[in-house]
Amino acid sequence: MDFYALQDSLLRNSKSGGSSDTVDVESRYVLIEKIGSGSYGDVWSATRRTGAKDVYAVKRIDKRHAGIKGLRSVMGEVETMSLLSHPNIVKLEETYQDEACLSIVMEYLPGGSLQHRIDRQNVSELETRRFITQLLMAVEYIHEKGIVHRDLKPSNCLLSQNDLVVKISDFGLSVFAGNKQCLTTCCGTLHFMAPEILLEKNYGKPVDMWAMGVMAHVMFFGRYPFQARTEAALTKDICRGYLPREEGGGGLPCPSLLQDFISQLLLYDPHRRMSAKDALKHPWIKEGLDANRRTSLYPSQAPSVTAMKPSARWRAAVLAVIGVQRLLYLQRIQRLVRLGYDGFPILRDYRYLVTGKYVPASTSVECSHMFHARPMALLELISMINTCPFLKHVDLSWNNIHSLSVIQSLLKVVTRHPSLQSIDLSHNPIPAVAGRSIVRLIRNPLSQVTSINVGDTGISADTIGQINSF
C-alpha cells in the first residue's frame, strides 16, 4: 500500500470533491450486510467478486462527514495497522476510495465484539485468562514497537468463531511514543482511563496496562472496578488510588491470584504497574498454562520469526524499522498540522522528523519570504538549524520577523553553532531592543558568525553601525 499517495489523495479529494484516480470498493467486493456502525460510517461484511469467497469486514468512511480532521485520524489508524502483524491484531487487507467514501478492508471475525460476549453470559475464570493472555501478547507486541493504544476496551476487541481467539481491532487513538512518558492528550473511554490521563500528567505505555486491568475485572466480575454514578465522581474514584476488594459471581470469593493480577495492573503509580511482559509472567497467567501452551492459544499460529530464513528475518527487520519511522514521521507531521505549519515544505523534512538531524543539500539555507505569513513557524526551522553541524549561511530576509522571542531563540542557537558564519535578517520589523543581543553575539569569541545583515529593520542606525564594524 502506498500510504502517502493515499493520504495526499484523500486530503486533496476531501477539498475538491473527487478525483478520477479513485476506485470504488464495490467494483472489487460484494457488500453482504451491515454489521456495525462507527463515528464516520458503517462496517459491512463482504466477499471478493473474483477468486476465493473468504469474508472480509469493510469499514466505509463518509469523507464529507469525517472532514479533514477525521480523515487524518483515520489515516493514522490505517498507517498503524499497516505496520502490525500479530495473531491477536485484526489484519488490514487494503484500502479503496471513491468520491464519497474511503473504504478499509480488514480481516473479518464472526464472533462479534468481546463486549457483546461479556453482555451475553458470564465469562469464566478460564475464559478470562485465555482472552487476557492473548490480549497481553498483542499489547506486548505493540509496546515493543513503541506504540501506545490508548483506547483498549472490550468493544474494541473482536472474537473469532466459537470465541477461541480475541483480536484488537481499533487503533484510532494509537500513537507512537517510544519508551517515553511524553503523551499529554486526554483521550480514551472514561471507565478505562488511567489516573495519569485524568490528572493531565505526562503518560505512556502504562495507561494500556491500566486498561487491561479494567478489562480483566469487567470480564470476570461483569462490572467496572469503579462505578460512580456521575463522570465527576467516577473520575475522583479512579484518581484516589484505592481499588475495592471484590467477590466473584454468586458471592463466591474471587480467586486470590486473579485479584492480585488485577490489583498489580490497577496501581495508581504507573511506574509500579506491571508491563505486558511482566503480566505474562504473573502466576495467574502461568497457572493455567504449561511451558508449551503459550504458542497453542490459537487455532492457527503465524510462523515465528526464528523459523524464517536469515534473508527473510533481515527483510522483516528492515520493514519493521521503516514502518516505525513512517509512523513517527506521520505523528510529527500531525503536530505541524495542529500548529498550522504543515504548509512549509522545509519543515516536513523526512530525515529531520524521523532522526532529529537536519541534513540540507548544501551549506546554505535560503528562506527569504518563505515564512512571511507565519513568522512564528521560524521557531521550528531554528530547531532544525541547531542539529546541522556544517551549515554556513542562513537567509531569513523578508519574513516579517517582529517577535523578540524568535530573535532570542535564533541567537541562542547561533551563539554555540559550530559552523554558521553569516545570517541575513534584512527587511524584517525586528524590534530595536534586539540590536543589543546581536551586538553581544558578534562580540562573543565563541561564536563563528562573522556577518549579520540587519539592514531595513527596526534596529537603530547606531547599533547597525556597531554590528557592521565587527
Q: Is residue 328 part of a domain?
A: no
Cell 513503541 locates to 146
Q: Is residue 318 part of a domain?
A: no
Query: Tell me: the pLDDT tens digits for 83-97?
Result: 888 999 999 998 888
285 plus 203 within the same structural domain: yes
208 plus 352 within the same structural domain: no
191 plus 65 within the same structural domain: no
208 counts as catalytic? no
Report pLDDT for 247.
58
367 plus 286 within the same structural domain: no
Was 59 annotated as part of a binding site? yes
Q: Is residue 304 part of a domain?
A: no
Report pLDDT for 303.
42
263 plus 397 within the same structural domain: no
Q: Is residue 322 part of a domain?
A: no
Report pLDDT for 64.
85
* Catalytic position from the list 42, 62, 151, 349: 151
277 plus 351 within the same structural domain: no
Q: Where in the sequence is the domain holding 367, given as residue range(s)?
A: 339-469
List of the chain residues with pLDDT < 50: 1-5, 9-21, 249-252, 291-292, 294-296, 299-307
Q: How far apart are CA 157 and CA 171, in angstroms?
A: 11
The CATH number assigned to the domain holding 294 equals 1.10.510.10
192 plus 289 within the same structural domain: yes
392 plus 422 within the same structural domain: yes
21 plus 121 within the same structural domain: no
Q: Is residue 321 part of a domain?
A: no
431 plus 352 within the same structural domain: yes
Report pLDDT for 274.
97
Query: Tell me: the pLDDT tens digits for 35-76?
Result: 988 778 899 999 999 888 899 999 998 888 888 777 777 877
Report pLDDT for 3.
45
Tally of domains in the chain? 3
The CATH number assigned to the domain holding 464 equals 3.80.10.10
The CATH number assigned to the domain holding 17 equals 3.30.200.20
